[in-house]
Chains A and B, each alone.
Chain A
Amino acid sequence: MKYMILTYASQQDYDGMAGKAAGEPAWSAEDFAAMGAFMESFSRDLAESGELVETRGLAAPVHARRVQLHKGVPVVTDGPYAETQEVLAGYWIVECDSFDRATQIAARLAKVPAPEHVAARAFADVRPIAESQADLEL
């Protein structure tokens, strides 16, 4: 069974990671390096256990484009998110035995090293992947 583990961050969080204090303290170089090392080993463990299907991190939210219909015409909005809005920042697709196992994997993310104010509001979501249209009709 496949699950997606999703993590979130705001533009403000991305700024902090890039070493810019944007309304709250910036990450130190050590904080950032420790986070990077943790994520690497997290993904490596999943790859080694054979559970990792794919993982990606996303560029800062300012680079997002939103496409939607506006009066019947497709319209693009540059940077559609507010600065403090938590948006998708990265994901893992894992293939494992159960929802509980996927949740166990996601729970490891609670240990990701980060400045206290960031760790306090961080969360990860786990969602089962619908493999077909039939899955959606359940």
Chain B
Amino acid sequence: MIEAVPGTEVEDLLRRLAPQVLGAVVRRYGHFDTAEDAAQEALLAAAVQWPHEGIPDNPRGWLITVASRRLTDLLRSEQARQRREDTVARWALPGQWLAPAADRPAAESDDTLILLFMCCHPALSMASQIALTLRAVGGLATAEIARAFLVPEATMTRRISRAKQNIKDSGTPFRMPPGPERAERLAAVLHVLYLIFNEGYAATSGPSLQRTELAGEAIRLARMVHRLLPGDGEVAGLLALMLLTDARRSARTGPGGELIPMAEQDRSQWDAAYIAEGVALIVGALPRGATGPYQLQAAIAAIHDEAPTAEATDWPQIVALYELLMRISDNPMVALNHAVAVAMARGPQAGLDLLTELAADQRIAPDHRLDAVRAHLLEMAGDKLAAREAYLAAARRATNIPQQRYLHARAARLTDGQ
């Protein structure tokens, strides 16, 4: 008798195997675009069959066989159609293919990394990189990705097939990028994972502030990359940053979905296990040579997470870390956060002075967050009238409804107090 298997167990297994299966099929047969469809169909078949019929002895082998068969089918009808239309699939061999293959033989575990490098290929737009990574490496269906990004499924389908076509056209071979290129490409992969996390943690549009599945998926993928590259400090830093940020998730919104700023959050609600894991990761990564931006941000998040209250936070240390971060990344959001930390360490006026300089930066001047920070600092300084105006200005610029509600509430509180 075959025992039924819980659906979630099957789903976890399938999501874990997804990149391995696609990697194995593309490595053997090529055709990344068609193989990706074939692998998705194999995952779908398993998701339907396994909960009732049980998980096969070798689930990875089962999936690879089914995906390979499906690929043969798909190629067969594709080629038959092309011959009917007299459009033989011909592609110029890219110059790089003619160079001798000096690379070491690839390990099985490299497949997932190679897939990530392909999905985050510079020939693709950022939106396409994100969508393709979630599908080809994350094993998510197009409908799920569309839902997470609040776009129609047809739009997401087009985005993904265009991305796959671009990869095909780029002629990227299925192999590790050569040495010097690898670091650059890994940075692109980490950036995509970071954006997926942020999209989940602070949705940029729509009624729901946190689309937690996306944040959870980004953490899952970052864990996977960390397992593959345990010695890379920035990978560890990114995973730590995600865990240390996500640890505050449930304390970050109130019962009505309203935003609660960190200073007012109930810190007993923070996820102690995530904090412990994130701190251990960052403590392990920091002494290992060059410190990158993800490690610095994780170190800042760790200081916040370990402080018993906002006041008892080691603000001078946070200021110092932001200054290091500003030296390696020219990002106005970093400068904005630095201004907040300076205000907490040296008083609101010191922070407001920095904001005046920052307002000249056109990358952040139109952003609601600049006004929101100014409002907070003005409120700290006791200038209620100016603070109220700044909150209202921020609310006009915010695109996300909970954020607008939060900013209006702050403004209203100042009016009531007068």
> Which A residues fall within an 8 A CB radius of B?
11, 14-15, 18, 20, 59-60, 62-63, 65, 67, 70, 73-80, 82-83
Contact = CB atoms under 8 A, between A and B. Distances in A.
Contacts, number: 53
Nearest to B91: A76
Given A75-B90, A79-B89, A60 B80 contact: no
Contacts of A74: 92-93, 98
A79 B88 CA distance: 8
Contacts of A77: 88-90
B92 A73 contact: yes
Q: B76, B80, B82 — which one has the most chain A CB atoms within 10 A of its CB?
A: B76
9 contacts: A15-B76, A75-B92, A76-B91, A77-B88, A78-B79, A79-B78, A79-B79, A80-B88, A83-B76
A75 B80 contact: no
A80 B83 CA distance: 10
A62 B76 contact: yes
Nearest to A83: B80
A15 B76 CA distance: 9
A122 to B, nearest CB: 21
B93 A75 contact: yes
Interface of B: 29-31, 69, 72-73, 75-76, 78-80, 82-83, 88-93, 98
Contacts of A63: 29, 72, 75
B72 to A, nearest CB: 5
Q: A67, A79, A83 — which one has the most chain B CB atoms within 10 A of its CB?
A: A79
A95 B394 CA distance: 84
Contacts of B91: 75-76, 78
Contacts of A11: 76
A27 B385 CA distance: 84
Q: A20, A78, A82 — which one has the most chain B CB atoms within 10 A of its CB?
A: A78
Contacts of A70: 90, 92
B98 A62 contact: no
Given A11-B76, A63-B75, A76 B31 contact: no
A18 B93 contact: no
A78 B76 CA distance: 11
Contact of A65 (B30, B69, B92): B30
Contacts of B72: 14, 18, 60, 62-63
A15 B93 CA distance: 29
Nearest to A65: B30
Contacts of B79: 62, 78-79, 83
4 tightest CB-CB pairs across the interface, nearest first? Answer: A79-B79, A74-B93, A78-B89, A62-B75
Given A62-B76, A78-B31, A79-B75, A18 B92 contact: no
Given A18-B72, A63-B72, A76 B88 contact: no
Given A74-B98, A78-B90, A79-B75, 11 more contacts: A15-B76, A62-B72, A62-B75, A63-B75, A75-B91, A78-B31, A78-B79, A78-B89, A79-B78, A79-B79, A83-B83
Contacts of A78: 31, 75, 79, 89-91
Q: B82, B88, B90, B98 — which one has the most chain A CB atoms within 10 A of its CB?
A: B90
Contacts of B98: 74
Contacts of A80: 88
Contacts of B73: 20
A14 B79 CA distance: 15
A111 B76 CA distance: 30
